Structure 1
C-alpha cells in the first residue's frame, strides 16, 4: 500500500492573488505530488513546497499536496489519479501521458562518492571496471543524456541498487551499501549536512559537457490541455520576473547557486521553448 500524506494549502493563501497574475484554469482542487528531495522538499518544507504555495496564491487554485515516493508519483500521473507534480525531467516516454512546463530550475547532477573511492576510481570508466563496486539511484529518477549511458551499463551488470527516495539513497552511501550516487547540489548540500558520514564524500563532475537538468512542472494529460500549460508557463515567468523565484531559492541555497540557476539560458523566462530535456 502506498504511504501517502496530504497537506492542504491554507484557505487564506488560496483566496489571495495578485490582480495582475496569470489565471490558469482550475475546475477542481488540484492534486499535486511532492517527494523527498533534500532542499527541494523535506518534512513539508523546501523549494518545491514554497513554489506550490506561490502558484496557489497567484492562480487562486486549491492545491492538495500528496507526499509520495517518486516512482508512485509517475504511476499516478499516468493513470490520472494524480493531476500534477514538480521537478520533472522531460523524456519521450513520459510525454505520452504528461505535459511539461518551461523549466523553472536548472541544476547539474554530480557524482558523490566516498573520498577513498573517488581517489582510486576517479572517472566513470574506472568505476565500471571495478565489478565489486555498486551504484545507487532513486527508482524512476533520470539523470540526463550525458549520465544515463553510465547507469545503463551498471544496470546491465546488475550493479544498481534502487532507493525509494533521496534520504534512503544517502543513507546507503553513508553505510557503504553503495559506493557512488548522482545528486544535485540542492540534494547533497542538505543530506551531507543532516546524515552522519565518517568522512565527507567527494563531489566530482563526471559529465563536463552536461549543461544541467531542467526541473519542470508536470501535468497529467487526463486533466490538462496545451492551453492550460501556456497559462501555467506565463505564471512561472511572472514568478521569475518579479523576483519571487529568487527569494524562494535564497531561503535554501547560497547566492552563487541561486545566480547560476537564474542566469542559466534554459531557465523559465529566458528560453520559451518547452522542448529542451529527473
Structure 2
C-alpha cells in the first residue's frame, strides 16, 4: 500500500530529527462513543509501576481521556467491527496507556469537536495544528508527525492548471473545497481571509464531501492531505478522474491538542514522556511500519 509506505518515510524523518497553523465549523454533530476494548488497545495497568511509586492503575483512576475523532483515513477511522483505529489513534492509545490513562472515543465533525474541546466536553483531539486562538483554550503536545497539503483537480483540467502558482489559479477563478475548521497553513489562510478570494473557498464537513463536490463540478479543486486524498480516491474508484497537481501548498508538524478546561498540564507532560519512550524503545517505528505493510 503505497501511501502508507510514504507515511512511514515522512514520519521516520520527523523521528530522526527529534520529532520536534480561524476556527470555524458549521458542521452537523455526529457523536458515537466507542470503548477501547479491542485486543490491540487493551492494557494490563495493574502490573506497571511508575517511577514515583504509583501503579498505572492508580493513575488511571483519575485519568480518563475522552478523545474526539472525525473520519480521516488512514489517520483516524473505524473498522467494520466498531474499533476506532488509524495511525494517529494507534500512536496516542499506546502513549496514553504508558501514561496511565484510559481512553474512550467520541466521533464528530472537526468543527463541532473543536467547540467541545474548548468547553471541556472532549479532552483530546489528534492531528492538530497550533494557532494563537487555539492556544487560548488548549495545551499542545510535542509534535508527533508531519503533515502536507496538496491540491487535487479533475484529470481533464490538469493541463490548464499545471505550472501555475496558487495566486494565478485563484486569479483565474479556481474554486477550492476544504474542510471546515482545518488549518491549512499561513499561505492558504491569507487567501481565505482576503476579500478578493474568500468566496472562492467552500467549506465542507468531511474530506469525502470535498471530493464529491469536485466530481459534481461544484468546485474546481480540493485541498487535502495526500495520504487521505489517495485513500478517498481509492475507495471511490476515482483515481483516473481526479489527480493531484505537482505542488505542495503547506508542510509542517501536527500535535495532540488537550482541553485546558478538563486536562491537567501534568497529564500532557506524561503523554510527552510516553511519546519519547516509544521512540527510544522502537515502539514508535513499529507502529509506523504496521502502516507500511
2:23 aligns with none
Q: Tell me the residue number matched to 2:126.
A: 86
2:244 to 155, 180, 202: 202
TM norm structure 2:
0.76
Output the CA distance in 2 between the equivalents of 1:150 and 1:117.
22
1:116 aligns with 2:156: yes
Count of matched residue pairs: 250
Per mean C-alpha deviation after superposition, the further-off stretch among 46-55 and 85-94 is 46-55
Residue 172 (structure 1) aligned with residue 230 (structure 2):
no
Greater than 6 Å deviation, 4+ residue runs: 20-24
C-alpha distance in structure 1 between counterparts of 2:97 and 2:141, whole Å: 18
Does the residue aligned with 2:263 lie in a helix, a strand or coil? coil
**Contiguous gaps of at least 5 residues in structure 1:** 255-278
Q: Which moved more, 1:173-182 or 1:139-148?
A: 173-182
- 2:161 pairs with 1:147: no
RMSD across aligned C-alpha pairs, in angstroms? 2.7
Deviation at residue 161 of structure 1 after TM alignment: 1.6
> CA–CA distance in 2 between the matches of 1:118 and 1:91?
33
Deviation at 1:244, TM superposition (A): 1.8
Partner of 1:2: 29
2:70 counterpart residue number: 35
Question: CA offset at residue 2 of structure 1?
Answer: 2.6
Give 1:49's match in structure 2, choosing from 85, 89, 111: 89
| 1:113-163 Cα deviation digits (max 9, x unpaired) | 2233332123212211122x3110100001112332233348844122211
Rounded to whole Å, the distance in 1 between the matches of 2:124 and 2:237 is: 34
Normalised by the length of structure 1, the TM-score is: 0.80
Q: Which runs of 5+ in 2 are unaligned?
A: 1-27, 79-83
Deviation at 1:20, TM superposition (A): 6.9
Structure having the higher helix fraction is 2
Contact 2:153/2:242, CA 8 A, preserved across alignment: no
Secondary structure of the residue that 1:247 maps to in structure 2? helix
